[in-house]
Structure formats: C-alpha cells, structure tokens
C-alpha cells in the first residue's frame, strides 16, 4: 500500500522498537549476501550505505513491492536524516561552519554545526509544541534563509514530512499546494502571509508561524520590538517565530529513528508543463543516494564549500543546497535574495570571499551572466567545478564558463522525481551516472532508437520518487511502463545517442515540433539561435501551420547593448543559422523580440505560455 494514500504514513509506535541506546550498526552487519537476481548493483549500494549512520541495519538493498514499480530501499533499516546531517558531525565538526548566511541587507553570519544543532533542536521543540507528529506535513513557504533550513532539519528530526514551496509563487499557487498536502502547520515569511490573508486564502484551521523578513538581524532572539512578529500581537492563528524561539527552554529533542522508507519530503515539480506533481521521497534511500552522489558525480573531496544558487523550493535546492552538503559535513552558502535568475558580480564576489569550491546553478543564469560581462571577475581561484542542471546547456555558454572559470563544467540532467542526477557529462555529451541504466526508445514502437524518449530501467534509484502524493494510480500510469522485460520509467524527455554512446537531451516530448512530418526539438533550434551574436536567450515553440502542421516560432531576448535597429539584421542572421544547423524545415515563421522570457521559479522557460495565440 503506497504511503501517500494513508494519512499516518507508517505505524506511529514504530520507534518504540528503538530505545535511544540501541546498538549502532557496524559495517559488517550490512554485508549480507545479495539475492541471486537483482535489478540493482547490490555490492555498490551496500558499500555506499556505509556513508550514513544506521540505527538498525537494513536487511535488503531494494525490495520491489508486488513485482514493482513501487519499491523500498534499504528495507528493515532505521535512520534519521537530521541525525546524519547534524548530530553525527558534532564530535568532530562542532566548531566547523555549516552555513554561511548572507541576507538581503548584505549582512553575513557563519553558523557552526554546534549552532546549527541548537537552532534545529529549538525549531523541533517549537514544532512539537504546535502538535506536529511523525508523518504530519509541515509546509514551508520561505525564501532561502536560515530558518527554512532549520525547519527542514527539524521536520526530519521529528519524522514529519517537509513540504517546501517556493516563496516566488503566487498566493493562489501556494493555496493550491496547501490544499493538496493538507499540512498540520505552515511556516511563512511575513510578506507571504500577508498576501495569503489579503486574498482570503489562509486556511482557517491551520496555524501559521510567521518568520520576519528582517534578515539575519531577526535571528537575534532576545525579543524586543523591531519587526512585526516581535512588536505587534500576531493575528488569528499566527505565531511569531522570533517570539517562539525566545521562549525555547533548552529542552533536548532527540532524533526519531525512522524506517528507511518513511517519507521525508513532499516536493512539487516545477510546473513547467502544467499542474505540478507532488513527489514523495523516502528517508534512508535519499540519504545514501546524496552521500554517494557527492564523490561519484560531483567528485568532491574534503572541506568543500557549496554554493547552490537554486530556490529552496526546487529539488536542486533541497538536495544540494541543504541535504547533501550537510550530510557530508561540508559548508553551504545560504544567500537570501540571491535569486536563480539574477546572477552577476555578486555571485563571483561571494565565491571569492567565501572560498566556494563548488557552484551549482542553471544554464539560464550563466547565459545572463555572459551577457552582463565578458569576464568572471574577481578571479575564482577557490572554485573546483561548476555544475549546471535544469535546462539544456548550450555550447557557447559552456565554453565561456570553462574558459572564464578555468575549471571543469558539468552538465547534469535530472528531475524532481529522481532527486539527484540521472546523466552527467562534460563537453556536451552526457552519460548515466553510477549504476543508472537508461535507454532511448522510439515513442511509437517502444523499441530502442537513436532518438526518442529517454527511459530508466527498473527503478529510479534510492531517493527517487516513491509515489505521487494522494495520486498513486497516476504515479504508475503516468511514469511507468512494463515492456515485458522489466519496468521502464518514462522521463518524458527526448534524447539522442551519438555513435560513442554520448547522450544529448533535446527537450520535452510535448515540446517536440513536427514540421511537415519532420521532428525538430526545441533545444536544437535554441542552441543554434544562441550562437548568433547579441542573443542572450532563445525559446522555440511550435505553432500551428495549415500546410506543414507546425512551424517554429522563435522568441529572443537580446543582450542589453543591442539596439532595436539591429533586430531586422538579427532576424535574417537567425534564420540563416537555424536553416544551416537544423535544416530548411527549422526556418522560423516569425522571430519575436521580448525583454524577458516567462520562467518558473526554478529558472525554466515556460514554453506553454509562449504557445498561446
């Protein structure tokens, strides 16, 4: 029975089996014989599982439920994400910086693992006093800011499920996600709460903890006036975080040991193609997968400083701004108001000042940065690698970054559903990471093909989506297909394999254009357009055409210095370049110049808005 269709999610008296002093597993406990035939690399995952603390060892690496596609990773094991991300680091890393926080006013503060532990326990105490139990949802709608991380960690500490919604969404979009996830408690930034109230969308029966937007200053809990939550009496159902935090009495709140498969998060997809999907993720599999991904996919070593520019409500923010760096005992930058879509000098200065070693961002941000300045200044001597994810990476931006930063630039392909990368690569061609097995199939016949839909074999890996919240039938129907040999996960993305086995992502299946019987992907046209001097951003969509079925319509954002007088020239140049690279059928029917492209909070172009007549 899938978890999300039950409100209690897992037996609540479960942790009674685990008194606080129960023995810790030793690596040898984990080395059981793998089953004879298994769709996973048992030896690999047993070894990787040793990167985290197990309060009770698991019995099996992966168990398919009734033949799949539902599965449970590290079955029988018990662990806790917060314990692994905070408590276990205290003996060796208590004084080490866990978070480097930079607020909108430019104030900066370092938070050590010991301080982080204190804040997380205080937050867990607050949540517990509001009646939050294991399995309850706690919905956070906060920008990237320290209390957001404290709350995510505190939820994990108690076994509650965090639902983080981007603070960039509208009040209506937030209300929709509240309705879908039915949280016990909301934690909101002051101005988001006001928007919810103004539009009459605050759910009357759900308490709201209000976090002031006064920046790091608001983290001094001594009380006193200053911001609304501390000064004024809160309204109906509202509680001020600062006041609750000041009342914390130093009571220790232990980590609750949870079954490996206990849901730890409910996370909505970006909503690029329509209604967002509520992805449910586990505990043990997620912790192991993220810890394994760091050395194997990100090539990390010791003492890394991560700067993930993503919104905290996007999967990239969850996995590599919060969980992975903390699980590994690294330092992570928490930049309030940093904004995926507003790169530039501030980012380079932050990297230089805080000796950032790893930058994870989106291609769109780097395209804008390239337009703002030819060089990366100051020189980024601390940086060891840059990773890009979320949208196709064009060659020009990749080369600019490789030359400017002087470090390897990796393209990572993944989804909210996968939780961590599926494919990764340098220089344009991607390959499956770790033990992921993928193929490309013709969307009509389902047979292997050089170009078609990218599918994953058998499972989504540990930490992959367990189900869709409240929609388990849709989870199976939308994403899975059994081809007689095994389950195939349908990414809904179009990909091409070259003769050396390298894979290029061409865009979403739904966005693929069919022009006079010839298929053309959005990425092919956009990458061609981006090579034209003066083009900062490009979006291609298919529009109806009476003879050809569809034709390309192209939207262009130019670099700031390009005058409108050059648009006619650019149109001609764009048509010539696209015809040369994609063929005659790729010639755009029209080229429209815009100031900016419609984007999701995660920095993705929303092509369905551009397709509207």
List contacts with Mg ion (CB under 5 A): 269
**What does 242 interact with, of ligand ATP, Mg ion, none (CB < 5 to 8 A by kind)?**
none
Q: What is the C-alpha separation between 254 and 156, in angstroms, rounded? A: 11
Task: Tell me the backbone φ, ψ of residue 281, rounded to 5 degrees.
Answer: -125, 155
Place of tokens 């630039």: 409
How many residues touch ligand ATP under the rule CB under 6 A: the total is 24
Q: How far is the CB of 394 from Mg ion (least distance, A)?
A: 21
Where are the alpha helices (H) located in 415-497, listed in sequence order? 472-479
Please tell me whether residue 336 binds ligand ATP under the rule CB under 6 A.
no
Please tell me whether residue 602 binds ligand ATP under the rule CB under 6 A.
yes
**Which range binds ligand ATP by CB under 6 A, 62-70, 372-380, 410-418, 445-453?**
410-418
Return the residues of window 307-326 that contact ligand ATP according to CB under 6 A.
315
Q: Which residue is nearest to Mg ion (CB)?
A: 269
Of 330 and 414, nearer to Mg ion (C-beta) is 414
CA dist 337 → 167, 249, 312, 347 (Å): 11, 32, 11, 11
Collect all residues with Cβ–Cβ distance below 8 Å to 19 and sequence separation of at least 6. none
Please tell me whether residue 272 binds ligand ATP under the rule CB under 6 A.
yes
Quick note: the x/- pattern for ligand ATP over 560-599, rule CB under 6 A, is ----------------------------------------
Are 554 and 588 contacting, i.e. CB atoms less than 8 angstroms apart?
A: yes
Three-state DSSP state, 364: helix
DSSP code at position 378? S
Strands 590-593 and 549-558: parallel
Quick note: the x/- pattern for ligand ATP over 505-534, rule CB under 6 A, is x--x--------------------------
Place of tokens 């200065």: 349
Residue of 116, 132, 165, 389 that binds ligand ATP (CB under 6 A): 389
DSSP code at position 60? E
Place of tokens 């905290």: 312
Of 112 and 269, nearer to Mg ion (C-beta) is 269
**Which range binds ligand ATP by CB under 6 A, 107-115, 264-272, 294-302, 343-351?**
264-272
**What does 309 interact with, of Mg ion, ligand ATP, none (CB < 5 to 8 A by kind)?**
none
Q: How far is the CB of 606 from ligand ATP (least distance, A)?
A: 9
DSSP string, 183-241: -SEEEEEHHHHHHHHHTT-S-TTSEEEEE-SSGGGGG--S--SSSHHHHSPP-TTEEEH
Quick note: the x/- pattern for ligand ATP over 463-502, rule CB under 6 A, is ----------------------------x-x---------
Q: What is the C-alpha separation between 516 and 113, in angstroms, rounded? A: 60
**What does 146 interact with, of Mg ion, ligand ATP, none (CB < 5 to 8 A by kind)?**
none
Radius of gyration of the chain (CA): 24
DSSP code at position 275? S
Q: How far is the CB of 397 from ligand ATP (least distance, A)?
A: 12
**What does 389 interact with, of Mg ion, ligand ATP, none (CB < 5 to 8 A by kind)?**
ligand ATP
- Measured in residues, the chain has a length of 613
State the residues that interact with ligand ATP by CB under 6 A. 269-273, 276-277, 315, 389-392, 411-416, 491, 493, 505, 508, 602, 604
């Amino acid at each position: 029975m899938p978890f999300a269709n039950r409100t209690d999610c897992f037996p609540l008296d479960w942790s009674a089996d685990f008194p606080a002093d129960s023995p810790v597993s030793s690596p040898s406990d984990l080395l059981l014989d793998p089953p004879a035939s298994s769709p996973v690399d048992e030896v690999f995952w047993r070894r990787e599982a040793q990167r985290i603390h197990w309060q009770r060892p698991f019995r099996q690496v992966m168990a398919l439920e009734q033949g799949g596609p539902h599965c449970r990773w590290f079955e029988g094991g018990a662990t806790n994400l917060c314990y692994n991300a905070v408590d276990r680091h205290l003996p060796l890393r208590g004084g080490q910086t866990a978070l480097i926080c930079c607020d909108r006013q430019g104030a900066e503060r370092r938070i050590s693992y010991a301080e982080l532990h204190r804040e997380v326990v205080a937050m867990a105490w607050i949540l517990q006093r509001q009646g939050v139990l294991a399995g309850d949802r706690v919905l956070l709608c906060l920008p990237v800011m320290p209390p957001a991380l404290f709350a995510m960690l505190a939820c994990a500490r108690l076994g509650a499920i965090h639902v983080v919604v981007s603070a960039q969404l509208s009040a209506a979009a937030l209300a929709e996600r509240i309705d879908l996830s039915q949280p016990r408690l909301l934690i909101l930034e002051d101005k988001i709460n006001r928007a919810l109230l103004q539009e009459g969308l605050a759910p009357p029966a759900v308490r709201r903890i209000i976090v002031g937007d006064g920046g790091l200053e608001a983290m001094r809990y001594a009380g006193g006036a200053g911001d609304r939550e501390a000064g004024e009496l809160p309204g109906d159902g509202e509680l001020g975080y600062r006041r609750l935090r000041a009342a914390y009495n130093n009571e220790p709140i232990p980590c609750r040991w949870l079954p490996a498969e206990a849901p730890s998060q409910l996370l909505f997809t970006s909503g690029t193609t329509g209604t967002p999907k509520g992805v449910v993720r586990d505990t043990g599999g997620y912790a192991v997968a993220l810890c394994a991904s760091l050395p194997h996919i990100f090539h990390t070593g010791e003492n890394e400083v991560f700067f993930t520019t993503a919104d905290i409500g996007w999967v990239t923010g969850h996995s590599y701004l919060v969980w992975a760096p903390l699980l590994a005992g690294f330092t992570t930058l928490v930049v309030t108001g940093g904004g995926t879509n507003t790169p530039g000098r501030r980012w380079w200065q932050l990297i230089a000042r805080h000796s950032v070693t790893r930058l994870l961002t989106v291609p769109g941000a780097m395209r804008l940065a390239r337009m703002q300045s030819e060089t990366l200044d100051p020189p980024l001597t601390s940086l060891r690698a840059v990773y890009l994810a979320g949208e196709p990476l064009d060659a020009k931006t990749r080369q600019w970054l490789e030359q400017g930063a002087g470090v390897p630039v990796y393209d990572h392909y993944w989804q909210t559903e996968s939780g961590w990368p599926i494919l990764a690569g340098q220089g344009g061609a991607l390959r499956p990471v770790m033990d992921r097995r993928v193929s490309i199939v013709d969307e009509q016949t389902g047979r292997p093909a050089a170009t078609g839909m990218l599918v994953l074999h058998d499972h989504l890996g540990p930490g992959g989506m367990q189900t869709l919240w409240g929609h388990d039938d849709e989870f199976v129907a939308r994403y899975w297909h059994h081809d007689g040999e095994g389950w195939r996960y349908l990414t809904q993305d179009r990909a091409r394999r070259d003769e050396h086995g390298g894979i290029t992502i061409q865009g979403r299946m739904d966005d693929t254009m069919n022009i006079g019987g010839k298929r053309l992907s959005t990425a092919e046209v956009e990458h061609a357009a981006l090579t034209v001097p003066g083009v900062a951003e490009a979006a291609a969509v298919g529009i109806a055409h009476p003879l050809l079925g569809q034709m390309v319509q192209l939207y262009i954002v130019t670099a700031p210095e390009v005058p409108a007088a050059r648009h006619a020239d650019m149109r001609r140049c764009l048509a010539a370049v696209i015809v040369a690279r994609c063929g005659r059928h790729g010639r755009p029917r029209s080229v429209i110049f815009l100031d900016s492209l419609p984007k999701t909070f995660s920095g993705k172009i929303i092509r369905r808005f551009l397709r509207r007549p």
